[in-house]
């Protein structure tokens, strides 16, 4: 197969560790890093030292997010790939084999990236989701107060439209 990307890095990302494989025309190198920030910075430095231009990783939960944030800051091309879209590695499955397989698929241009919005849009989405969860929690508390009042035979909701409004609190 034709090599499209000369220097590619494949990553197998987990909660506590990242196994990375960089394949260049000269050699293949594999390292394992912790997911703590100081080690993620070492991972990024290692990728830049190797002259790696593209990085691919599986989209495992939310574990890919800190890595993508750092790669984005360094202007390194990255692909977050759905694990089901990659063929399984034949034989015994290990982190090293997964990282190598991802790097090989990336080198030959056989990976399709998942849609990752830009940083501003990701941050806005997080804020909107958090706001929605706070609003939902407020509604649950409101309903709980109304239920307690009804259980105590205080029919406040029959008299006022908003049991937490000014007139109902008076």
Angle, CA 73 vertex, CA 106 and CA 50 arms, to 5°: 50
CA distance 9 to 76: 11
Long-range pairs for 31-37: beta carbons < 8 A, 24 or more residues apart: 32/95, 35/63, 35/66, 37/66
pLDDT digits (tens, 9 = 90+) for 8-45: 999 999 999 999 999 998 899 999 999 999 999 999 99
pTM over 0.85: no
pLDDT digits (tens, 9 = 90+) for 139-160: 999 999 999 999 999 888 888 8
**Are the C-beta atoms of 77 and 68 separated by less than 8 Å?**
no
All domains in the chain, ordered by first residue: 8-116 (3.30.420.60), 120-169 (no CATH)
DSSP 45-71: HHHHHTT--EEEEE--TTTTHHHHHHH
């Amino acid at each position: 197969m034709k090599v499209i990307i000369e220097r590619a890095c494949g990553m197998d990302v987990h909660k506590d560790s990242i196994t990375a494989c960089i394949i260049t025309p000269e050699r293949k190198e594999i390292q394992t890093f912790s997911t703590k920030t100081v080690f993620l910075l070492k991972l990024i430095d290692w990728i830049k030292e190797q002259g790696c231009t593209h990085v691919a990783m599986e989209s495992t939960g939310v574990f890919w997010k800190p890595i993508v944030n750092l790669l984005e800051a360094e202007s390194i091309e990255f692909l977050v790939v759905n694990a089901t879209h990659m063929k399984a590695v034949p034989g015994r499955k290990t982190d090293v084999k997964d990282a190598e397989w991802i790097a090989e698929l990336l080198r030959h241009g056989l990976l399709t990236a998942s849609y990752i919005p830009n940083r501003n849009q990701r941050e806005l989405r997080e804020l909107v989701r958090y706001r929605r969860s706070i609003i939902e929690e407020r509604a649950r508390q409101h309903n709980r107060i109304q239920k307690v009042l009804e259980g105590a035979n205080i029919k406040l909701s029959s008299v006022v439209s908003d049991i937490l409004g000014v007139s109902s609190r008076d």
